Amino acid sequence: MPSKKPKEPQTIHCEKKAIYPGSFDPLTNGHINIIKRGLMVFEEIVVAVARNTTKKNLFTPQEKVDMINDVFGKEPKVSAVTFEGLLVDYCRSENIKVILRGLRTVSDFEFEFQVAQANKQMAPEVDTLFMMTESAYSHISSTILKEIIQLGGSARGMVPATIERRMRKKLLGRAKR
């Protein structure tokens, strides 16, 4: 049986606002790169910190928002919020129609594809837009950064200095190496 033809959009217009969700434990230079490049497409980006992540977090949701504001506080086009529950429910409550996600590797794609499809099924009016992470950041993850710092390494170039200091303080009990 032929699969049901997806409904084509009735009107074509540009979405001005996108949501960039994640666990951000913490925000890295890879995330920052996606947000800055996202601003070439959207007039406003809402960085949304998921409260109910299954990951073991180093930072509280409020600390994550504070770190995002430390980096983007002077940029009026970027705001930071937390959300609980399904992302698509939050999008609906805020009338946001585009989810922005970064793809680092092919292995990211499979999972991201599943999540995007599930979100689309739950909220057909919300689309996911993927941006390729620049190669300089494709090896970075928040977990890897935490391990580097925990083991006495430097995360310079991978995370802003203010965030590296906060990580050092949490993980090692001191701000400087």
Q: Which of 115, 123, 171, 172 binds ligand COA (CB under 6 A)?
A: 115
Catalytic residues: 31, 55, 104, 142
For ligand COA, the binding residues in 44-83 under the rule CB under 6 A are: 50, 53, 55
Q: Nearest 5 degrees, angle CA 104-CA 177-CA 68?
A: 45
CA 92 to chain centre: 18
118 binds ligand COA (CB under 6 A): yes
For 98, other C-beta atoms within 10 Å of its C-beta total 20
The answer to whether 140 contacts ligand COA (rule: CB under 6 A) is: yes
Whether the CB-CB separation of 66 and 26 falls below 8 Å is answered with no
Nearer to ligand COA, 31 or 168 (CB): 31
Binding to ligand COA by residue 142, rule CB under 6 A?
A: yes
The neighbour count for residue 171, using CB atoms within 10 Å, is: 16
Q: Among residue numbers 143 through 162, which ones bind ligand COA (CB under 6 A)?
A: 143
Q: Single out the residue of 87, 91, 126, 159 in contact with ligand COA (rule: CB under 6 A).
A: 87
Strand 44-50 to 17-22 pairing: parallel
Using the minimum distance from each CB to ligand COA, give the nearer residue, 24 or 42: 24
Q: Which stretch binds ligand COA (CB under 6 A): 11-19, 36-44, 61-69, 138-146?
A: 138-146
Using CA atoms, how far apart are residues 172 and 53, in angstroms rounded to an integer?
A: 24
Kindly tell me which of 11 and 164 has the beta carbon lying closer to ligand COA: 164
- Closest to ligand COA by CB, 13 vs 111, is 111
C-alpha to C-alpha distance for 72 and 83, rounded to whole angstroms: 19
> For residue 146, what are the CA distances in angstroms to 26, 109, 160?
9, 23, 13
**CB-CB contact of 85 with 44 (8 Å):** no
- Enumerate binding residues for ligand COA (CB under 6 A): 21-25, 28, 30-31, 34, 50, 53, 55, 86-87, 102, 104, 115, 118-119, 133, 137, 140-143
